[in-house]
Structure 1
Amino acid sequence: MARSRNPVRPRLGRDAERLIALALALDGSGSRVEDRFWERELESLVTKQLQSEQDGALDQALDHLLPKHPGGYEMLVEIAETLSESIVLERDGERYDVLLIVAPVAAWTRYTIPVGPIRSDALDALRAQLHGHILAADVSLALAPTLYSIDQMPRNFGTTRQWLKQLGSEALGLPFTSLRSGNEEIANLLADTRYVVGAIAVKEGGAFFRWQENMGREANRESCLAAWVAQAEPTFASLLPGCGIEVLLPDAYYVSNREADRRVRPLSVRAAVAWLAGALTLEASQIRAVIAGCGESQVEEYRIGFTARNRNEVVYGTVWPVYGREDDAAPDADPQDEIVELLNSLGVSDVRRIGELLRPEFCDDCGVPFFPDPTGELVHAEMPQEADTAPTHFH
């Protein structure tokens, strides 16, 4: 069986210790008045970290809190997310609230899911559709002219805040630096999410979204989503040829990213089973799935390795992330049960669960995750040489 290794953690610095103490104090607060006191203290220190563009102390504090003090972790991560996706900027002596948003679309295909520059006509259409169905009346908007993969988007709070300031300045007509084009190598997956990234700005205290300014009347999240899907789906379809797509609600950066990840999880499993059945000329009943929980001290994600039913070699794999907030909503639910039920519904009846927590491992050469085989080892997924299965660009 694969063994979990306990990494040696660096000694906590002064700022990390202070962040931990403040997060625990906020989690233990007994009143809203006290909450506000600790929030101000914590926000001041987190802002200092973000302005220095150094996430080291934040990362140390979060790594320390997650296994031992999940309540404190939630307090700190929520403030770090808030301060990296929202900011106040000034223009001509007036203050504006600015929020980083994404408009996600889940896509699945046997081909390569496109990324890259968005045609000017498509960008204009998305801008008009956002103003028409999602944004409040007085909101200014700037969109990055790129369809991004998650691999190309910020990986830390400091970089997220940089994107916010750049796009927010553009939305307000202030001097700005264009975002990088996002040329990083991306994972070639059968199902994945693509993102349009933007910033919205409104005079301080104003409404960002249509459902805020029309609360209790016709506009709500559901009706705004329905109108957005009807109008934006053809635009996204033209940007993602050869793909099945599901257009999701544009919203604040982090919540929208998490929702997109949740929605793409079952699509990834469905796409994997369908693709493997065709690539290996097998019925779904001839495919085996192996599920393992992976993380340093608790399950952070489930990795699903696929093999032929009579073989142990892993030929493909997919990741099912786990989020603390959804665990809180259903504390007794086991995500593995949902995965097994989904696999069974697709015709995969041979499903094995690895009982121990495995440390997440990746390939040193190509960076892809390793996936569990039936013996409980995390291994590199490799398709048989005779299978011509590499995803290609749709023409």
Structure 2
Amino acid sequence: MLSSPQPEVVDAVVIGAGVIGLACARALSSAGLETLILEQHDAFGTETSTRNSEVIHAGIYYPEGSRKARLCVSGRKRLYAFCETHGVSHRRCGKLIVANSPAQEIALLKIFHHAQANGVADIRLLTRAEAAALEPQLKCAAALLSPATGIIDSHGLMLALLGDAEHCGAMLATNSPALSACVREDGKIGLNVGGAAPMKVAAKMAVNAAGLHAQKFAAAFEGFPADRIPPVHYAKGNYFSLSGRSPFSRLVYPVPEPGGLGVHFTLDLAGQGRFGPDVEWVDALSYEVDAGRCQRFYGAVRKYWPGLADGSLQPAYSGIRPKLSGPGAPDGDFVIQGHDAHGIRGLVNLFGIESPGLTSCLAIAAEVCALLGIEEACGGE
């Protein structure tokens, strides 16, 4: 099909095969729409979707009423249900957010109230002694316990999403970057697709889930209003793995810092511990980890785990967040644009889908369907 010189006509095109794009493709195809997924790389999910902490967030940090808060809370519930029904490896291990100064204790209390307002009902304030009883190696003055936080196999999640989408007839085209787009005379969205086998595609609707490249695609859409494209800032996060046995059975986060959630401790499903991410503002996409940044990690981690031994951290990997606000500015919300926002019928743009994007993926897909006037067929899972 994809080698035809004539424009291929489908119901829907999704640009980007990360976790958000795959969740959207699953929702659209399960509603009976012939769906084509365009991915510029040679495999799905090679950027932000697999270069993160693989955490299922509870919905704690985000301002009440924000998209991040609403979609994280509903998305978390959907995601746990999806993992259970689809056999995706995950564990509801819980998380501690720790404070080690009077100022951080005040910030911790604010986070607690945010979480309750967002519908995170099971969060609990802990004293120093209560936190130490749960994690004996932890140093803190106070902590928040989030039992709803978990970890997930992000690759397994994407395999399951793609499997559902393909079962409903969706097609994944790798090495197929969407180069430009326009509105055709017949009202369909026309796309020029590059790669080894260039093609033209016409679709009734398109979802721009290109992540780090979402702004670039929108700018290449003929007639798209430039003032509706938010700036993108690349915030690189570096991770370092821990040699030896993990000191904690739960995730441990400091009080958030500007640009991110601070150098936190996470576990993978095999029990291996790692620390990160930090915040490194960059102008280009590069995933090399500077081993020299390790020294800052030791200082940050020892504030809540004094037992971290010299030489026990090794460079692991990095990821880049597509942020809508730069250094020193408050974090932006998810931007999910439909026709009412930009005037192009059938087009939905997803900008600034950083954390908690993975947790929110199924809820984001539901919102995309609503903007396109599509009734979800796959429901809450």
TM-score interval, smaller chain: under 0.3
Greater relative contact order, per chain length (Cα 8 Å cut-off, separation 6+)? 2
TM-score (structure 2 length as normaliser)? 0.22
> Which has the higher Rg, Structure 1 or Structure 2?
1
Structure with greater helix share of residues: 1
Structure with greater strand share of residues: 2
